[in-house]
Chains A and B, each alone.
Chain A
Amino acid sequence: MAVVCQPSTRDAPCLHCSLPVPAGRLSRFCCAGCEVVHDAIAAHGLDQFYALRETAAPAHTTDHGYIELDDPAFHELHVRRLPGGQACTSFYLEDLRCGACVWLVERAPRCVPGVTAIRVDLGRSRADVTWDPQVTSLAAIARHLDRVGHPPHPYRGLEREALRRREDRALLIKLGVAGAAAGNLMLLAAALYAGMFGGMSLADTGFFRWASMCVAVPALGFAATPMFRTAIGALRAGRLHLDLPLSIGIVAGLVWGTANVLRGVGEIYFDSLAMLVFLLLVARWIVLRHQRRASTAAELLLSLTPSRAHRLDGGRAIDVPIEAIVPGDVVRVLAGEVVPVDGELIAGSSAFDLGLLTGESRPIDVGPGARAHAGTLNLAAAIEIRATAVGEATRVGKLVAGIAAMSAKAPIERLVDRVAGWFVVVVSSVAALTLLGWSVTSVALGAERAMAVLIVTCPCALALATPLAVSVALGRAARRGVLIKGADALERLATPGTLFVDKTGTLTAGKLAVVSWRGDLDAARLAAAAEAGSSHPIARALRAYAEPWGVATDVREELGRGIRAMVDGRAVLVGAPPWVRQRSRAQPTIEGWITELAERGETPIAIACDGVMIAVAGLADPIRPDAAAALHALDQLGWTVHLLSGDDVRVVHRVGAELDVPRARCHGAMSPEGKVAAVTAAREHGPVVMVGDGVNDAAAMAAASAGIAVSGAAEIAIEAADVYLRSPAIGEVVAIAAGAQATLATIRRNLRFSLAYNIVAGALAVTGVIHPLIAAVVMPLSSLTVLASSLRSRAFRS
C-alpha cells in the first residue's frame, strides 16, 4: 500500500508527514498510512524521530509479508553466518534521507527482540543487520523496517562494492600522504625563502634542502603513482593523455631537485610539486565521490525490481525468492505484477503490457496456452504460469547478456587530452630550444633553464580544469534528480548530433487513455459504468475519461473482444468494432469514424446501446504535455531529433505530426536490433544520443555515444544508460544537453586560463627570471582561478 496523501485546505498539518489533513477527516493524520506509521513509531517509544528529522515527506510502506526472506535459497545467497550463531546480511533501504531515518532504523534492536545491531550507511542507502536466527526471523525484521517507512530490499552489489572500497581507500591514502608532504614541504620552503632574504648559513640551507628531498621523493613517488600509471598506459596504447605532461613535470622536478640537492647548488621546486600532486588528487577524489553517489542511486533503483515470486505448492501460493524458481514450477502472477519467468500460461486470462520488452504500447490479451515472457507486465487479472526458462535463460536474460558485452564503451578522446597532446609537443620543443639557445653561453645554464621550463609549465591548472568543472555539474545535476554515471558522459553529450527518442514511456505516458470521442457523450458514462468492475487497461482508460452513470448488472466480459452489461435497464456493449458490429445495427457515420480513428493510429472502441452503435472512442497512449516544448528546445540546441519506436508506423507518424517531427525522421515498427542498426548508422555522421526506457532500447543505448534512461525505465536500460532521470519529465533531457554544453564551455574557459598562466611561467623560465618562489605563488594561484571559474559555471543552475 503506497500512502498517498491528498492535499486540502485545512490548516493543521498531518502529525506524521506534515501534509495538510483533508477536510472532513476527523483525525490528526492525512491518511490511514501515516497513522499506522506514527503508531508504530510511538508504540516503541521512538518519538525522538520527529525532533531529529529534516524533511517531512510522506512515508512509504508496503503491507508485504517478506516471507521469501526466510527461504533457504535466499539465505544461501545473501546471509553470512557469524561465529556464535549470529547471522548478518545487508539491505538497501528505501527513502533514507536524513539523520532521523538513520536513528529510527538503528533503534530496531529495541523494537524487535533478537536483533543485535543495525548500522546504517546513509550515502549508500544501506543497512547491515546482525541478528540471532534462534530468536527472530529475517522476515520479522524486514516487516519492522517496512512498518517504520523504509521497505528493505536485498543488497545485491556486495562484490562490486568491495572493489570500489579498495579503490577509494587507496586513493584516500595517497591523498593523505600528498597532503602531509605538501604541508611539511611548504614549511621547509618558507624557512628557505626567509633565509634567502635574511641570510642563512650554507650548512643550514643545505640541511633544509636535504630534509625537503627526504620528504618529497618518497612521498610524491608514492602519491603520484596513479598519474605515472595512466601516462605509461597511454604511451603504450599510443594515445595522448593529460597525465603524460603532468608525469613529465613531476619526474623532471623530482630528478632535477634531487640532483641540485646533491650538487648543493641550483633551485628546487619540491613544495610546488607537492601542492600540485595534492590538488590533483583532491580533484580526482571529489569527482569519484560524485560518480559513486550516482551509481549507488542507480543501483538502489535496480534492487527495487521484484526479487520474489509466488510459487504454487499443492494449490497454495507461497512467496519465494526468484532464485528458487526452477523450470517446471508453477508461479502465480497477480494483476500489476511483472512476470518473473518465461513460460506458458496455464490458468486464467489477462492482458499483457509488452511495452518494456517490445515498445508496443497496446495491451495484448492473453488466455491459457499463451507464451509469457519475463519482464512483461500483467495488467488485468491473476494468472498462473508454468516456468520453462528462468534467470539468464529467459529472453530478457539473453538480451541482457548481449548488452553487457556492448556497454564497454571505447574511451572518447577528451578535449583536455587533445590539448595535452599539443602541450607536450610545444613544451618539449620550447625546452629543447632553451637548452640549445643558452648552451651558446654555457651548457650547464642551458640545462638549468630547460629543466625550469619543464617544471614550471607542469599543467596543474590544466589537469584541474576538467574535474572541477565536471564535479560542479555532477553535483548540481544530482540535486535536480539527474544521475550522471560517468564524467565523460557530459563531454559525449556536449556536441550536438543525432538524438533518438523512444516513443512509448518517454514521449508518451506509457498508458492507454481516451484521446478522442465521436458520438453521444453520455455513452461515455454508460461505457464507464459497464466497465466499472474490470481491471483491463481499456476499462481503466474509459473510467478515467467519464464518471460512471448507473449501476451495471449481468456483466459478461469476453477477453480480447469486449464487455456486455445491463446498465439501468439498457443493454450496453463496449468492445472491438467487429465484435460490437456482429451484435448490433451498423451505422455509416459510425463506420466512418472507426476508419478515421484507426487511420490516425488510435485504437477504436465501439459502444452500442440497445442494439444500436452510438459512439466510438479513440484510445491511444497520450503524449506528455512537456514533450513538444522539449523537442523544440533540443532542436534549438542543434540536435536532430528522430523518433524510434517498436510501435506501429501509423502511431509513430501521428505522434511525430503532433510533435512537429518530419515524417522521414519517424521510424516505426523497429525491433531492438533495428534500433541498434539505426544508431550505429547514425554514429558514422557524428555523436548519437539514445533516450529510452525499455529493454528494447537498452542495446541501442549501449551502442550510442551516450544513453539516457527516463524515470520508470527497465532494469537493463538503467544499467546500459550513462544518465538516469529520476523525474518522468522529458524536459530534463534538454537540461542535460544544455548543462553538458555549459560544462564544456566552462572547461574551455578553464583551459584558456591555465594555458595563459603556463605561457607566462614558461616565458619567465626561458628568459631565466623564474624563481621557485614565483612558481610557488603562480601554481596555486592558477588553480584557484580555475576553481573560481568552475564554481561560476552556468551548468545545471536552476
Chain B
Amino acid sequence: MTILYLVLPLALVFAGGAVAAFVWAVRSGQLDDVDTPPRRILFEDERVEPPR
C-alpha cells in the first residue's frame, strides 16, 4: 500500500487545483448570472458569410 503515500497527496493537489479554478471562475464573474447563459446556448449562431 506504499503507493498511497504518493497517490493521496497527488489527489489532494488535484482537488486543490479544482478549487483554485472555481475561485478564479467566481472572481472573474462567471457565476454572477446563472439564469441567462443556460438559455443563451439555445440560440442559433449568426450566419457568417464564408470568406472568399
What mask results when residues 25 to 52 of chain B are scored 1 for a CB within 8 Å of chain A, else 0? Answer: 0110101111110011011101000000
Tell me whether A413 is interfacial, beta carbon within 8 Å. no
**Chain B 1-33 interface residues, beta-carbon cutoff 8 Å to A:** 1, 4-5, 8-9, 11-12, 15, 18-19, 22-23, 26-27, 29, 31-33
A207 contacts B32, C-beta separation under 8 Å: no
A176 contacts B23, C-beta separation under 8 Å: yes
Taking the closest CB of chain B, its distance from the CB of A460, in whole angstroms, is 23
Taking the closest CB of chain A, its distance from the CB of B29, in whole angstroms, is 8
Taking the closest CB of chain B, its distance from the CB of A236, in whole angstroms, is 30
What mask results when residues 151 to 184 of chain A are scored 1 for a CB within 8 Å of chain B, else 0? Answer: 0000000000000010011001100110010011
B35 contacts A123, C-beta separation under 8 Å: yes
Point out the residues of chain B lying under 8 angstroms from A99, CB to CB: 39-40, 42-43
Tell me whether A204 is interfacial, beta carbon within 8 Å. yes
B32 contacts A52, C-beta separation under 8 Å: no
Q: Which residue of A lies closest to B21 (CB)?
A: A176
Q: Which residue of A lies closest to B41 (CB)?
A: A99
Point out the residues of chain B lying under 8 angstroms from A177, CB to CB: 19, 23
B40 contacts A180, C-beta separation under 8 Å: no
- Quick one: given A177-B19, A180-B15, are A122 and B33 in contact (CB under 8 Å)? yes
Tell me whether A326 is interfacial, beta carbon within 8 Å. no
Cα–Cα, bound, A696→B1 (Å): 76
Q: Which residue of A lies closest to B44 (CB)?
A: A48
- Quick one: given A176-B22, A204-B1, A211-B8, are A168 and B36 in contact (CB under 8 Å)? no
Point out the residues of chain B lying under 8 angstroms from A201, CB to CB: 1
B32 contacts A165, C-beta separation under 8 Å: yes
Tell me whether A121 is interfacial, beta carbon within 8 Å. yes
Point out the residues of chain B lying under 8 angstroms from A110, CB to CB: 46
Point out the residues of chain B lying under 8 angstroms from A165, CB to CB: 29, 32
Cα–Cα, bound, A110→B44 (Å): 14
Point out the residues of chain B lying under 8 angstroms from A207, CB to CB: 4-5, 8
Point out the residues of chain B lying under 8 angstroms from A215, CB to CB: 12
Identify which of B12, B15, B18, B36 contacts A123 (C-beta below 8 A): B36
Cα–Cα, bound, A176→B33 (Å): 17
Identify which of A52, A121, A211 contacts B42 (C-beta below 8 A): A52
Point out the residues of chain A lying under 8 angstroms from B44, CB to CB: 48
B39 contacts A184, C-beta separation under 8 Å: no
Cα–Cα, bound, A173→B32 (Å): 12
- Quick one: given A168-B32, A173-B26, are A98 and B15 in contact (CB under 8 Å)? no
A102 contacts B23, C-beta separation under 8 Å: no
Tell me whether A124 is interfacial, beta carbon within 8 Å. yes
Cα–Cα, bound, A382→B11 (Å): 75
- Quick one: given A177-B19, A180-B15, are A122 and B26 in contact (CB under 8 Å)? no
Cα–Cα, bound, A207→B5 (Å): 8
Point out the residues of chain A lying under 8 angstroms from B32, CB to CB: 121, 165, 168-169
Taking the closest CB of chain A, its distance from the CB of B30, in whole angstroms, is 10
B26 contacts A169, C-beta separation under 8 Å: yes
Tell me whether A34 is interfacial, beta carbon within 8 Å. no
B4 contacts A204, C-beta separation under 8 Å: yes
Tell me whether A623 is interfacial, beta carbon within 8 Å. no
Cα–Cα, bound, A627→B43 (Å): 46
Tell me whether A50 is interfacial, beta carbon within 8 Å. no
Q: Which residue of B lies closest to A120 (CB)?
A: B36
Tell me whether A103 is interfacial, beta carbon within 8 Å. yes
- Quick one: given A103-B43, A173-B26, are A211 and B12 in contact (CB under 8 Å)? yes
Cα–Cα, bound, A275→B42 (Å): 36
Cα–Cα, bound, A120→B36 (Å): 7
- Quick one: given A120-B36, A123-B33, A123-B36, are A52 and B43 in contact (CB under 8 Å)? yes
B12 contacts A122, C-beta separation under 8 Å: no
Taking the closest CB of chain A, its distance from the CB of B12, in whole angstroms, is 7
Cα–Cα, bound, A121→B29 (Å): 12
Q: Which residue of B lies closest to A164 (CB)?
A: B32
Taking the closest CB of chain B, its distance from the CB of A362, in whole angstroms, is 45
B39 contacts A102, C-beta separation under 8 Å: yes
**Chain A 342-378 interface residues, beta-carbon cutoff 8 Å to B:** none
B33 contacts A180, C-beta separation under 8 Å: no
Point out the residues of chain A lying under 8 angstroms from B34, CB to CB: 123
B33 contacts A124, C-beta separation under 8 Å: yes
Q: Which residue of A lies closest to B16 (CB)?
A: A180
Cα–Cα, bound, A207→B18 (Å): 23
What mask results when residues 75 to 106 of chain A are scored 1 for a CB within 8 Å of chain B, else 0? Answer: 00000000000000000000000110011001
A169 contacts B27, C-beta separation under 8 Å: yes
A122 contacts B22, C-beta separation under 8 Å: no
Cα–Cα, bound, A615→B15 (Å): 86
Q: Which residue of B lies closest to A289 (CB)?
A: B34
A121 contacts B36, C-beta separation under 8 Å: yes
Cα–Cα, bound, A120→B33 (Å): 10
Point out the residues of chain A lying under 8 angstroms from B33, CB to CB: 121-124
Taking the closest CB of chain A, its distance from the CB of B40, in whole angstroms, is 7
Cα–Cα, bound, A168→B30 (Å): 12
Q: Which residue of B lies closest to A214 (CB)?
A: B12
Cα–Cα, bound, A106→B37 (Å): 12
Point out the residues of chain A lying under 8 angstroms from B36, CB to CB: 102, 120-123
Cα–Cα, bound, A180→B13 (Å): 12
Point out the residues of chain A lying under 8 angstroms from B31, CB to CB: 169, 172
Point out the residues of chain B lying under 8 angstroms from A124, CB to CB: 33
Cα–Cα, bound, A123→B31 (Å): 12
Point out the residues of chain B lying under 8 angstroms from A48, CB to CB: 43-44
Taking the closest CB of chain A, its distance from the CB of B42, in whole angstroms, is 6
Taking the closest CB of chain A, its distance from the CB of B31, in whole angstroms, is 6
Point out the residues of chain B lying under 8 angstroms from A211, CB to CB: 8-9, 12
A173-B23, A183-B15 known; 19 new pairs, CB 8 Å cut-off, are: A99-B39, A99-B42, A102-B36, A102-B40, A106-B40, A106-B43, A110-B46, A121-B32, A122-B39, A123-B34, A123-B35, A123-B36, A165-B29, A165-B32, A169-B31, A176-B26, A180-B22, A211-B12, A215-B12
Interface residues of B (CB under 8 A from A): 1, 4-5, 8-9, 11-12, 15, 18-19, 22-23, 26-27, 29, 31-36, 39-40, 42-44, 46
**What are 27 sample pairs from A and B whose C-beta atoms fall under 8 A apart?**
A48-B43, A52-B43, A98-B39, A102-B36, A102-B39, A103-B40, A106-B43, A120-B36, A121-B32, A121-B36, A122-B35, A123-B33, A123-B35, A169-B31, A172-B31, A176-B19, A176-B26, A180-B19, A183-B15, A184-B11, A184-B12, A184-B15, A204-B1, A207-B5, A211-B9, A211-B12, A214-B12
Interface residues of A (CB under 8 A from B): 48, 52, 98-99, 102-103, 106, 110, 120-124, 165, 168-169, 172-173, 176-177, 180, 183-184, 201, 204, 207-208, 211, 214-215
Pairs A-B, 9 closest by C-beta atoms: A99-B39, A123-B35, A122-B36, A176-B22, A122-B35, A121-B33, A180-B19, A172-B26, A169-B26
